[in-house]
Amino acid sequence: MKTRPLFAASLLLAALNSAGAQPGGAAAPAVPVDVPHIAFDKYTLPNGLQVILVEDKRLPMVAVNVWYHVGPANEAPGLAGFAHLFEHMMFAGSKHLPRGLADRLLEGAGATDSNGGTGYDSTSYYDTVPSNQLELALWVHADRMGYLLDVLDQKALTNQQDVVRNERRETVENEPYGIVEEALNHALFPPEHPYYASVIGSHADIQNAKLADVREFFTRYYGPNNASIVIAGDIDKVKTRALVAKYFGSLKRGPDVARPQIVTPPIAAERRLTVPDRVELARVYMGWLTPPAYQPDDAELAVAAQILAGGKSSRLYKSLVYERQIAQDVDADQDARALVSTFLVEVTARAGHTPAELEKAIDAELAALREHGPTQQEVERAKRQIETAMLTSLEQLGGDGLADQLNHYNQFTGDPGYLAKDIAQLRRITPADVQRAVRTWLQPKNRVVVAGVPGEPKLPIDPPAPKPPKTAKGDKSGINPVEAWRAKAPKAGPTPEVKLPQGEAFTLANGLTVIHHYNPALPLVSAELVIKSGADSNPIDLPGLAGFTAQVLTEGTAKRSAPQIADEIAQLGAFLEADSGTNASAVSLLSLRSTFDQAFDVMADVALHPAFPSAEVERQRASRLGELMQQRDEAEAVA
């Protein structure tokens, strides 16, 4: 990689401070910064639709986020994957929006983040639009909610069955470790449990869905009384209330939906599986059943997951990846759900190492955590990292950002503004709390252990699609009365004035350009040092040099070792990384406002004084070779 002087670089700083933020001192603060208040209005229409409004004038954009409180948790036996299939059906056209028209109108209006998603307990649909196109987005979502059945036919169902089955082939059967993870799920839950199947379901169940099933599912679960809509962004709340009433107010209420009440049988004895798959490297999964979302020990186990595998400062990474070099990567997660959660540990072997080696090493770390508990430093570090990630998700209005988070809190707690309580609970967690939760829930006798190993997979039955049945004449009856005015798309409002954030810039004596921008929305600071050199500067005989150099950049400086860098950054609740693209390389930092001074010092040390220790270069070389081996598992990479 050719070196460039500092005048070929620029430093971008974005400070996002809350009014209660305190400047950082010599050490990380004992108490995190205050949580920003998110003002919202919540009300319910007479038909049961919950409406949540958030006014945010930063940019002339609005996020529209609709959640239906239905997922695989609500599926009937024999219809696994039905909630996900129905998510696809919602994009197949409605009475006033023939197939494809909604996409064309929204794209033409400048919409972004337009998509849907199915979780185990909910299904969401969302768009982010210019503020003068809010009425268009509401028209689209209301037509789907109220008038899908008017045009739903066998042709649309058959088409989406084919689409979803192809998606299953791509994301489960031809995805590295896809069938291994499905086997893990099957071992955690009995076949009659709604979490037994993957969200996407099985070929047989997808193909067995009948048009009558689809209509019944829509009628039962897609009424306004089983939904909530968040509208967040550059809105006038009074006018927005009127628009919501116009487009959603006349839609008929559906039948009352009872929340699933299912008792999950505990795992009384360890279950073990070995599953072959078309992969280069073996992988070990361990899974436990744990408390539902927002119940006691849910947050404590999330902290335990961070301590075990949350970055380079975590126990599993230090032991298995860094010191012993028997693992390629590690992960741990408390996957919180409504009925029951799962705690998962996932470790991929380095070439030449076995699942048995990994399992023994994982067990040693889990046993130490159960017996001795975490240190106070580990717990504080994990809590800060989780809090930083939670706050970062609020920077984006749409997608999985602010609007989606409010809908999430609304479904699981009934309070869209639960963020402050969520973080308050996180901050109260002690080492004793984490140790108690680990001892209670993560015992060897109560787990599932699955080893995914290289080999020829045993794929599930993939039956051919039968000839579609003929549709009866009465199959297109709708729920809501015809309202002629709905046939015409609303016109855009006046084009809003766009006032982009204006950064200030100055140049240091050495030529480095510094651009900074103050934003008081969140107690976060991000910084990025951009070097105008990337893969385009690689020597012909050393392809990949820029990327590899960036990979090693954070692995040691003249005064800090790789573990010291990882520990210090994690203790500050920050995230530091280096990367290289085609035309540029960058060192990026994200931190809490209260710890930015210390975190920025580490970033500067990494950028200015990299040592490239030979031991770290060799360690990263082995890691990169492992990554290249894993790319052979990816069809796109091979192609």
H or E, element range at 576 = strand 575-580
The per-residue pLDDT for 472 is 52
Q: How far apart are CA 249 and CA 593, in angstroms?
A: 43
The per-residue pLDDT for 175 is 93
Burial 6-33 (b: 16+ CB within 10 A, else e): beebbbbbbbbbbeebeebeeebbeebb
Instruction: Report the CATH number of the 6-34+523-638 domain.
Output: 3.30.830.10
Q: Is the pLDDT of residue 465 over 90?
A: no
When the candidates are 2.60.120.10, 3.30.830.10, 3.40.50.300, 3.30.1330.10, the CATH number that belongs to 41-261 is 3.30.830.10
Tokens 């040693």 correspond to what residue? Answer: 364
Greater pLDDT, 536 or 440: 440
**Tens of pLDDT along 292-327?**
999 999 999 999 999 999 999 999 999 999 999 999
Q: Which residues pair with residue 452 across a beta bridge? A: 275, 283
Q: Which residues pair with residue 334 across a beta bridge? A: 343
Q: How far apart are CA 85 and CA 201, in angstroms?
A: 9
**Tens of pLDDT along 228-262?**
999 999 999 999 999 999 999 999 999 999 999 89
Q: How far apart are CA 222 and CA 480, in angstroms?
A: 13
One-letter amino acid at 428 equals: R
Neighbour tally for 203: CB within 10 Å? 23
Phi, psi of 431 (to 5 degrees): -55, -40
Q: Is the pLDDT of residue 466 over 60?
A: yes
Burial 91-101 (b: 16+ CB within 10 A, else e): bbbbbbbeeee
Q: Is the pLDDT of residue 13 over 70?
A: no
Half-sphere exposure for 197 (CA within 13 Å, toward CB): 26
Q: Is the pLDDT of residue 31 over 80?
A: no
- Indicate left, alpha or beta for 319 from its phi (over 0: left) and psi (-120 to 50: alpha): alpha
Give the pTM.
0.89
H or E, element range at 299 = helix 298-309
Instruction: Report the CATH number of the 271-454 domain.
Output: 3.30.830.10
Phi, psi of 349 (to 5 degrees): -75, 145
Q: Which range is least confidently modeled, 97-101, 385-389, 465-469?
A: 465-469
One-letter amino acid at 411 equals: Q
| Residue range(s) of every CATH 3.30.830.10 domain in the chain | 6-34+523-638, 41-261, 271-454
Q: How far apart are CA 572 and CA 388, in angstroms?
A: 10
Going by C-alpha positions, the residue among 55, 138, 54 that lies closest to residue 96 is 138
CA dihedral for 235, 236, 237, 240, sign (positive or negative):
negative
DSSP assigned state of 56: -
Q: Are 501 and 520 in contact (CB under 8 A)?
A: no
What confidence category does residue 474 fall into, taking pLDDT thresholds of 50, 70 and 90? very low
**Tens of pLDDT along 115-144?**
999 999 999 999 999 999 999 999 999 999
Q: Which residues pair with residue 94 across a beta bridge? A: 97
Q: How buried is 400 (Cβ within 10 angstroms: 0-12 exposed, 13-18 middle, 19+ buried)?
A: middle
Neighbour tally for 104: CB within 10 Å? 10
Q: Are 592 and 30 in contact (CB under 8 A)?
A: no
Going by C-alpha positions, the residue among 249, 252, 227, 251 that lies closest to residue 240 is 249
Q: Is the pLDDT of residue 6 over 50?
A: no
The per-residue pLDDT for 610 is 94
Going by C-alpha positions, the residue among 415, 418, 439, 424 that lies closest to residue 383 is 424
Residues in Cβ contact with 91 at an 8 Å cutoff, skipping those fewer than 6 apart? 102, 103, 116
**Tens of pLDDT along 164-187?**
999 999 999 999 999 999 999 999
Q: What is the average pLDDT across 409-435?
A: 96
Phi, psi of 326 (to 5 degrees): -105, -10
* SS3 state at 613: coil
Q: How far apart are CA 137 and CA 191, in angstroms?
A: 40
Q: How far apart are CA 421 and CA 529, in angstroms?
A: 35
Residues in Cβ contact with 198 at an 8 Å cutoff, skipping those fewer than 6 apart? 81, 172, 181, 182, 185
% of the chain residues with pLDDT over 90: 79
Going by C-alpha positions, the residue among 625, 620, 573, 613 that lies closest to residue 594 is 573
